[in-house]
């Protein structure tokens, strides 16, 4: 039997290429399932003076009880730990809300946002909505939390949106894609997502500063 070495070489090369394509598809299979990083848009640049920040109570658009309070607290703590920002205290924020007869989770209008920023003495306001928070049940009683957030950085002078960030994760994303180990609690997932959002903000020019209220 005669073998054509040239044809044999083509077959081997074609097999190698097919194998390489399959390997790439396998490695990237977890990258196409909505598990990417935060989606970020910049409507306007941030002000130069942005040392003083208030994280206002997020809106809860889910059926998860206290979901807004969990995410707001976690995000505020992560932001405070990430740099030299001076976050307005929760008690001061709630006091201003009471002056407007606003409950935590209600969205102030632009005029109210301006007054809130002025009374708190802050340069930026961070608002947000918890679009989805749930705990899916997995095998052997395991819990797979799911969280979707939509955040805004607002100018304290006029309440207008400067940056928006949308982020979606589930606890299993970190096991499938990043090999961190599955996250099983909404608090742990909130903390990880807050860190990812804040790190992205740093990359986009959110700078640290040191000042005092």
HEC string of 133-185 equals EEEEECHHHCEEEEEEEEEEEEECCCCCEEEEEEEEEECCHHHHCCCCCCCCC
H helices then E strands: how many in the chain? 6, 7
Q: Which residue has the higher pLDDT, 22 or 185?
A: 185
DSSP result, 90-101: HHHHHHHHHHTT
User: In which band, very low, low, confident or very high, does the pLDDT at 180 lie, cut at 50, 70 and 90?
Assistant: low
Tokens at 65, concatenated:
């009880």
Contacts of 120 (CB under 8 A, 6+ apart): 52, 54, 88, 92, 93, 96
Domain boundaries, the chain: 40-204
CA 70 from chain centre, in angstroms, equals: 14
Q: What pLDDT, on a 0 to 100 scale, did the predictor assign at position 4?
A: 53
What mean pLDDT do residues 185-209 have?
91
Tokens at 54, concatenated:
């208030």
What residues pair up with 41 in beta bridges, in sequence order? 164
Q: Which residue has the higher pLDDT, 26 or 89?
A: 89
Candidates 3.40.50.800, 3.90.650.10, 3.40.50.10610, 3.40.50.2300; CATH matching 40-204: 3.40.50.10610
The residue with tokens 């000042």 is 211
pLDDT tens digits for range 79-113: 998 887 789 999 999 999 999 999 888 889 999 99
pTM for this entry: 0.78
Q: Are the CB atoms for 133 and 110 separated by under 8 Å?
A: no
DSSP conformational letter for 42:
E
Burial 77-101 (b: 16+ CB within 10 A, else e): ebbeebbebbbbeeebbeebbeeee
């Amino acid at each position: 039997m005669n073998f054509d070495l040239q044809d044999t070489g083509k077959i081997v090369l074609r097999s190698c290429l097919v194998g390489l394509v399959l390997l790439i598809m396998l490695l990237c299979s977890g990258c196409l399932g909505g598990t990417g990083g935060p989606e970020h848009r910049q409507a306007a640049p941030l002000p130069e003076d942005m040392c003083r920040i208030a994280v206002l109570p997020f809106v809860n658009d889910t059926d998860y009880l206290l979901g807004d309070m969990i995410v707001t607290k976690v995000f505020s703590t992560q932001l405070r730990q990430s740099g030299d920002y001076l976050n307005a205290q929760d008690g001061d924020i709630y006091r201003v809300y009471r002056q407007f007869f606003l409950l935590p989770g209600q969205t102030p209008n632009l005029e109210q946002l301006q007054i809130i920023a002025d009374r708190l003495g802050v340069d930026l306001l961070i608002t947000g909505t918890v679009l989805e928070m749930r705990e899916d049940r997995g095998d052997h009683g395991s819990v797979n939390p799911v969280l979707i957030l939509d955040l805004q950085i607002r100018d304290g002078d006029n309440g207008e949106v400067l940056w928006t960030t949308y982020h979606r994760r589930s606890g299993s994303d970190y096991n499938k894609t990043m090999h961190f180990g599955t996250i099983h609690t909404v608090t742990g997932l909130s903390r990880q997502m807050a860190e990812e959002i804040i790190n992205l903000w740093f990359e986009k020019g959110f700078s640290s500063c040191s000042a005092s209220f």
